[in-house]
Structure 1
Amino acid sequence: MLFGKIDYLNLLPFHVFLKRYPLSNQTKKSIEFKKGTPAKLCEDLSKRRIDAAIISSIESRNPKYTKLNLGICAKGAVKSVLVRKNSPKKLDPASKSSNMLGKILSLNGEIIIGDEALRQYIKDGGDKFYDMGEIWYQKTGLPFVFGLFCCNKNQNLYKKIINQFLKQKIKIPKYILNEYSKSRNIHPNMILWYLEHISYGIKNREKLALKKFISLSKKHNFHP
């Protein structure tokens, strides 16, 4: 089992779940070792350096991957996929999906994702940014799927893990919350507030949203 870990706050509940899940210590150490951005994990999965990861949703169109019902989703504002207003255009190399979404939504400016985006949102205020999850929802009435769980082996094992995760309400231990707060320089209460904007199950509306996103991306030749 070689699972690649997106080291962002948006997947903190899933990583807390994996810590408790009965996996070998070697496997858990491997997960911690194989960290990366969505774009980096796309490359690792494609080159089979890992056998599963939540990757940029635009890359999930690859027919060689098995797609499972876990993703990083938002129905409306997400607070961590942003475009800074009144700034020069600049893509974020960490996420192909966010760069593509910025083009689809005709948003010009600096694209910022992940924990750094959340940190800047809290520091500078929401009025300084376009929230791409919010604008997508306003235009389509659909949630947005920023990342999707894909694998190229061990499908049944990953499916079992995901099904158990989606059935549970994950409580983040205080010591873990404090560790992430310190390493990200974000107050624990703001981390919990942020996680209220994230969902993980890929259901019918998420599948419809992903299909629409891929279709619109094709019209832009998949290039951000």
Structure 2
Amino acid sequence: MNIGEISYTNIIPLYYYLDRERLMDQGVTITHAVPSKINSLMEKQLVDIGGISSFSYGKNAENYSLVPDLSVSSFGRVNSIFLFSKYKIDELGGKRIALTSSSETSVALLKIILDRFFRVESSFQVETPNFEKMLGNYDACLLIGDDAIAAFRKRGTYHVYDLGEIWYQQTGLPMIFAVMAYRNEMETQKGSLLSYVGKSMIESKERCQRENFVPVIERVLTQHGGTFEFWESYFNGLNYQFSGEHEKGLNLYFQLAVECGLLKTMPSILKFSYK
């Protein structure tokens, strides 16, 4: 079994306390990459379970199922998915926007927000994430994860929009950016191992929450800098559950993606049943 681990700080709590030695002893490998890469590897059957973009799940829902009670979500500001713009968001009609190559969920979310909530049509181009180059060549840019956090610190006078905040203001529902999904054949091929990995991720999340994310923050400080207060606020502002409200939010996201022509059909949400 190969586990896909998104190389962004926001998802660390789901992996932090995994017993990696035990997993290695059972033949498990772990692949680290940005969300779009994990999405692609899972579609190619090179990753069996992992954190993937919600949009990627929507495209592949007939082949994937969800580990229950796990996500990277927000009820409002997510603080790591930003649109940086030279113009106010309702003035972006006809403007050129650079989209990060690291994301699928947030790219689709921005298109939904502009089309459905602000009724503006822009042109889009996917680019390697680079704050200065993107805004040197485009009217606005979308960045996610650690790239977005770094750019926010040097945002200057640009207009900055948190996509999680806009989604919540417009819908009253959480925005689910990533889910923990697995390929369906894992249930028959590696059922007991799948169950162990899923339960371990839930236990890791719950332990991190009990500890108020302090060990996670101490690690992130050594890797990314910043202040303890910033990262404490950041992790406590994220939501790692997957409840009925999350399912409503994800279904609305999928519905609007279909209406905008970003998804072909409405996906169904299937979750693993632990025995």
Q: TM-score, normalised by structure 1?
A: 0.86
Q: 2: CA distance between counterparts of 1:18 and 1:91?
A: 33
* Aligned pairs for 1:35-54 within 5 A: 35-54=32-51
Contact 1:9 1:191 in 2 (8 A): no
Rg: which structure is higher? 2
Query: Are residue 79 (structure 1) and residue 79 (structure 2) matched?
Result: yes
CA–CA distance in structure 1, aligned partners of residues 84 and 26 of structure 2:
39
Question: Mapping of 1:207-218 within 5 angstroms?
Answer: 207-218=247-258
How much has 1:30 moved relative to structure 2? 3.1
Pairing 1:195–2:229 present: no
Aligned to 2:101: 93
Deviations 1:74-119 (A, max 9, x none): 0000110110021641111111110010011107621010012112
For 2:66, give the aligned amino acid: K
CA RMSD in angstroms comes to: 2.6
1:103 aligns with 111
User: How many Å separate the matches in 1 of 2:146 and 2:36?
Assistant: 15
Which residue identity lines up with residue 43 of structure 2 in the other structure? S
> Which residues of 2 match residues 62-77 of structure 1 at below 5 A?
62=60, 63-69=62-68, 70-77=70-77
Which secondary structure state, in structure 1, belongs to the residue aligned with residue 237 of structure 2?
coil
Q: CA deviation at 1:52?
A: 0.7
Q: Give the share of equivalent positions with the same residue, in percent.
A: 23
Alignment partner, residue 158 of structure 1 = 197
Which one of the candidate residues 136, 148, 171 is aligned to 1:117? 148
Give secondary structure in 2 for the equivalent of 1:49.
coil
Determine helix, strand or coil for the equivalent of 2:97: coil
Quick one: structure 1 residues 28 and 110, their matched pair in 2 at CA, closer, same or farther if it must change by over 3 Å?
Answer: farther
Is the counterpart of residue 220 in structure 1 residue 260 in structure 2? Answer: yes
Aligned positions, number: 219
Compared CA separation, residues 159 and 12, structure 1 to 2 (3 A): closer
CA gap 1:218/1:117 in 2 versus in 1, 3 angstroms? same
- SS of 2:66's partner is strand
Aligned equivalent of 1:139, options 160, 164, 170: 170
**Bigger helix fraction:** 1
CA contact (8 A) 2:3 2:28 kept: no
1:21-79 Cα offsets, whole Å, 9 max, x none, are 77345579932xx1111111011111111111111101112110111221110000011
1:122-159 CA-to-partner distances (Å, cap 9, x unmatched) read 34379731000000000000000000111012442333
Shift of 1:165: 3.5
Task: Structure 2: state its 5+ residue gaps.
Answer: 88-95, 123-139, 264-275
Structure 1 pair 54/158, CA: closer, same or farther in 2 (3 Å)?
same
**Distance in 2 of aligned mates of 1:142 and 1:212:** 9
What letter corresponds to residue 16 of structure 1 in structure 2? Y
Could you report, residue by residue, the CA deviation over 1:155-193 in whole angstroms, capped at 9, with x for unpaired residues? Answer: 42333224434543253455x644422322333332222
Which residue identity lines up with residue 98 of structure 1 in the other structure?
Answer: S
Structure 2 CA distance for aligned equivalents of residues 46 and 29 of structure 1: 18
